[in-house]
Amino acid sequence: MASATTTTTTKGATGRSSRNLVLFYIFLVLFVLVSLFPLLWVFRMSITTKSDLLASPLVTLTAPPTSTSYNTVFGNPDFIKALRNSVIVAGTTTVICLFFGAICAYAIARLRFRFKSSIMTLILAISFFPAVAIIAPLFIQFTAVGIINTYWAMIIPDTVFALPLTIWILVAFFKELPRDLEEAAKVDGATTLQAFRKVIVPLAAPGVFTTAILTFIFAWNEFLFANTFIFDAAHYPVTVVIPNFATVYTIDYGSQAAGAVVVTIPLVILVLIFQRRIVSGLTAGAVKG
């Protein structure tokens, strides 16, 4: 009797486990479909003619594909110039954040001083601060110092909001590195800064690289500051140029979708290639204190 009861219980547990596994995969598939649907829809719009996009009833899914929108996008000199501007702004922001963020993160991870926890809380709080709340004060300050309508009007606020993320991730990486390596370098006559530059930074290269990708993506996608502080089309980043594929009377949805696909594909490729490092960067220090 006991053996039969045990067998029945085991079968019931196995059945529940299998049912839960099936439900999990169903939920996972639905989640992926819901997440990818907007991207797939935008891509489909980018290869659909303007007449088919505006047709009623909707024929977007069955319309024959065309490259007209991509020809329009790549034939627009403002869009090409905007891509260059986005690379300049995002690249400069990333370099600045890595330089100052690495130094600050190393100090927090290695040095002992009062209010360390409070400083980390403040750093995290800055990243959640609503950017729209400081638009007006920043506009007045940037106008006073004469950097409105320049790259710096985008780089400075992007750096302010990207730097907390940079510091937070690098602190977790630096904490995982053993102190013995620094102490050995100091025994050999290296200063703290030399030990950081020649020992810690090379060992933390995967974390630094992950942080660089995330910071670059943040700056690449920024729209609010660029749309507020830049008035000259020569300095527009790509996020501002894409909505400009419109006139007073009509909107070229296909070209806007094509532009969105063009600026998204490089980021998707980066994330797919380095997804393991990105995940490890975001979860570093989650288990060890």
Which pLDDT tens digit goes with each residue over 114-143? 777 788 888 878 878 888 888 989 999 999
One domain, residues 121 and 251: yes
Q: Does the pLDDT of residue 281 top 90, yes or no?
A: no
Strand partners, 246: 251
One domain, residues 158 and 76: yes
Q: Does the pLDDT of residue 30 top 50, yes or no?
A: yes
- pLDDT tens digits, residue range 163-173? 988 888 888 88
| pTM value surpassing 0.75 | yes
Q: Does the pLDDT of residue 75 top 50, yes or no?
A: yes
One domain, residues 78 and 123: yes
One domain, residues 241 and 158: yes
Per the domain annotation, does 51 fall within a domain? Answer: no
- The dihedral formed by the CA atoms of 210, 215, 221 and 225, expressed in degrees to the nearest 10: 180
Per the domain annotation, does 196 fall within a domain? Answer: yes
- Rounded to whole angstroms, the Cα distance separating 142 from 272 reads 38
Domains in the chain: how many in total?
A: 2
173's tokens: 């990486």
Q: Does the pLDDT of residue 63 top 80, yes or no?
A: no
Strand partners, 251: 246
132's tokens: 């729209």
Q: Does the pLDDT of residue 189 top 90, yes or no?
A: no
Per the domain annotation, does 251 fall within a domain? Answer: yes
One domain, residues 107 and 187: yes
Per the domain annotation, does 58 fall within a domain? Answer: no
One domain, residues 118 and 236: yes
- Rounded to whole angstroms, the Cα distance separating 62 from 44 reads 10
- Rounded to whole angstroms, the Cα distance separating 86 from 94 reads 12
Tracing tokens 């909505």 back to the chain, one arrives at 243
The region of weakest confidence among 84-88, 236-240, 283-287 is 283-287
- Percent of the chain clearing pLDDT 70 (strictly above): 87
- Percent of the chain clearing pLDDT 90 (strictly above): 20
Per the domain annotation, does 56 fall within a domain? Answer: no
- Rounded to whole angstroms, the Cα distance separating 104 from 111 reads 10
One domain, residues 168 and 214: yes
Looking at per-residue confidence, does 98 or 111 come out higher? 98
Burial of 87 by CB count in 10 Å (0-12 exposed, 13-18 middle, 19+ buried)?
middle
For the segment 8-17, the average pLDDT, to the nearest whole number, is 61
Determine the structural domain holding residue 7 and report its residue range.
Answer: 2-46
One domain, residues 221 and 183: yes
Per the domain annotation, does 60 fall within a domain? Answer: no
259, 73 contact by CB (below 8 A): yes
Per the domain annotation, does 55 fall within a domain? Answer: no
One domain, residues 31 and 117: no
**107 sits in which H/E element:** helix 77-110
Per the domain annotation, does 62 fall within a domain? Answer: no
End-to-end CA distance of the chain: 50
One domain, residues 94 and 219: yes
One domain, residues 215 and 273: yes
Q: Confidence class of residue 232 from pLDDT cuts 50, 70 and 90?
A: confident
User: Which amino acid, 202?
Assistant: P
CATH of the domain at 228: 1.10.3720.10
One domain, residues 74 and 215: yes
For the segment 171-186, the average pLDDT, to the nearest whole number, is 79
